[in-house]
Amino acid sequence: MNRVLASMVTAALAFALQAAELPYDEHANAAADLRRALVAAQSNRSDVLLVFGANWCPDCRELDKALNGSSRALIAGRFQVVKIDVGRFDKNLDVANQYGNPIQKGIPAVVVLSADNQIVYSSKAGELANARRMGQTGIYDFLSSHVAAAN
C-alpha cells in the first residue's frame, strides 16, 4: 500500500513539475498582459513581442526554449515579451485577430508591436510552425533577420 501511495505522489509531483515548465499560462488574461507590456514598452522605449502558441504544441515549446536560450540576448532589453495561449485555436482569438490573425497558418506565431501598438512585423505564413526542424540556430537566424531587424 505504501508503494502505491509513494508511486502516486511521485507521479503527481512529476506532473506538477512538468506543468510548471510549460511556456504558456493557460489562465492568463492575454489582453491585460498586453496592456501592461505596452505601458512598459512606452516607459522603456522598447517594442513588444507577442508570441502566440500553446503548451500542447512541440514547435511552440521549441521556440520558447530558444527564446530562453540561444536567442535570449537578442530579445532581452529590446522587447517586452507576452506569451499568448491560443489553446486549440479556441482561446484569445480576439487578440490574434486584432493583429491580423498571425496564427491562421500555424503556431507558434510572433508579432512585433511598437510601443504605440502598431504592427512592426508579423509572421503570417506559419514561418515558425516548424521550429523543431529549425533548431536553435535556425530560430536565432529567423528572429535576428525578421524580429530584431524590425526593432
At 121-150, the pLDDT tens digits run 999 999 999 999 999 899 999 999 988 777
According to the model, what pLDDT value does residue 14 have?
A: 47
How many other CB atoms sit within 10 Å of the CB of residue 45? 7
Give pLDDT tens digits for 96-113: 999 999 999 999 999 999
pLDDT bucket at 90, cuts 50 / 70 / 90: very high
Domains and CATH numbers, the chain: 22-150 (3.40.30.10)
Return the SS3 of 31.
helix
pLDDT band at 44 (very low <50, low <70, confident <90, very high): very high
In degrees and rounded to multiples of 5, residue 81 shows phi and psi of -95, 130
* Beta strand segments in 98-143, E: 109-113, 119-122
pTM of the model: 0.85
Query: What per-residue confidence (pLDDT) applies to 7?
Result: 53
49 phi and psi, to 5 degrees?
-110, 110
